[in-house]
Amino acid sequence: MFQDSFKAAVAQAASIPGDPLASARKAATLIAQAAAAGARLLVFPEAFLGSYPKGNSFGAPVGMRKPEGRKAFQSYWEQSIALDGAEVEVIAEATARTGLFVVIGCIEREFGTLYCTVLFFDGGRGLIGKHRKLMPTAGERLIWGFGDGSTMPVFETQFGRVGAVICWENYMPMLRMHMFAQGIEIYCAPTADDRETWLPSMRHIALEGRCYVLTACQHITRASYPDEDECALGQDPATILMRGGSAIIDPLGAVLAGPDFDGETILYAEIDPGAVIRGKFDFDVIGHYARADVFQLTVDDRPKQAVSVVSRPGSGPKD
């Protein structure tokens, strides 16, 4: 028995670099707007809380780390978020008021390391989980740590199974296969990629997984960033650093909304859960179209920690 169709949305919006709490409040306003339009699920772009530092080299030529780059990293660390912080509380309150399921990108800090993370909020339940980007791309590896296999969830919700893969992680075939094996139906793809090649990739993934793909990218100009931030694309406030391209695609690869390159907006589309099963009639990548006798994938979803403490018996705190 399938659930009724429902409206989903992607927020093509600029974050507020340097002020993650203001970004969270902006997200709360967009959550309320999407809920008023009848949406039940809303996807935000990569690094919406904490910002995507487009064009910043952090003063790191090969073999060197300049002092100004260290200061830039400190500033970037200071605008990241903690999962017990005010920004998460603002989003949780917004989802509790509206009942929306929200997927939002953030820059998460843990001690001295930053992670490009997606957070999942389920209405009144608040924050229910996260996914840390497994493989930062190119220069991102300088400023972000690597996620491990313990944060690759797909959540069972009242309107389908929801998960997220961030930006160029979507080009990792084995990660996609793991998501498909978890039965993902609403495949969320927060990104910073605004190129013409992005939409064909999203259509391929929808066809490959026979799932809905919701991809969100910021539309943001140089004016949104602090003047002191380095930017390889120049200092003209009107320069567009990310031009959007957000879209919603159905399980047979049809584009239902977008791509939009005109500015900030919310895109909407009707999601029919039955379309996922109809798509699998002739192609189920982890079912009848798989060849387990030839190909197998092993996934290690254990958390990886640098330090594990093994205490001797009786060494713990006493009553």
Q: Which pLDDT score is estimated for 1?
A: 47
Q: Which pLDDT score is estimated for 318?
A: 58
- Residues 82, 50: contact at Cβ < 8 Å? no
Q: Which two tokens stand for residue 190?
A: 């927060």
Nearest to residue 209, comparing CAs of 252, 167, 149, 158?
A: 252
Handedness of CA 94, 100, 101, 103 (dihedral sign): negative
Looking at domain 6-280, its CATH superfamily turns out to be Carbon-nitrogen hydrolase (3.60.110.10)
Gap between the Cα atoms of 277 and 210, Å rounded: 8
- Work out the number of other CB atoms within 10 angstroms of the CB of residue 231: 17
Residue 7 is which amino acid? K
307's torsion region: left (phi>0), alpha (psi -120 to 50) or beta? beta
Q: Which pLDDT score is estimated for 319?
A: 54
- Residues 79, 18: contact at Cβ < 8 Å? yes
Query: pTM for the complete prediction?
Result: 0.94
Gap between the Cα atoms of 259 and 215, Å rounded: 9
Please identify every residue annotated as catalytic: 46, 133, 167
Gap between the Cα atoms of 208 and 317, Å rounded: 53
Nearest to residue 187, comparing CAs of 266, 250, 117, 275?
A: 250
Residue 8 is which amino acid? A
- Residues 204, 235: contact at Cβ < 8 Å? no
Identify the burial level of 107 via C-beta atoms within 10 angstroms of its C-beta, where 0-12 means exposed, 13-18 middle and 19 or more buried.
buried
Gap between the Cα atoms of 284 and 294, Å rounded: 16
Q: What are phi and psi of 229, to 5 degrees?
A: -70, 135
Per-residue exposure over 70-102, b if at least 16 CB sit within 10 Å of its own CB, e if not: eebbebbeebbbeeebebbebbbebbeebebbb
Q: Which pLDDT score is estimated for 317?
A: 62
Gap between the Cα atoms of 96 and 145, Å rounded: 31
Q: Within the chain, which residues score under 70 in pLDDT?
A: 1-2, 315-319
Contacts of 155 (CB under 8 A, 6+ apart): 120, 122, 128, 129, 161, 162, 163
Nearest to residue 215, comparing CAs of 118, 82, 93, 85?
A: 118
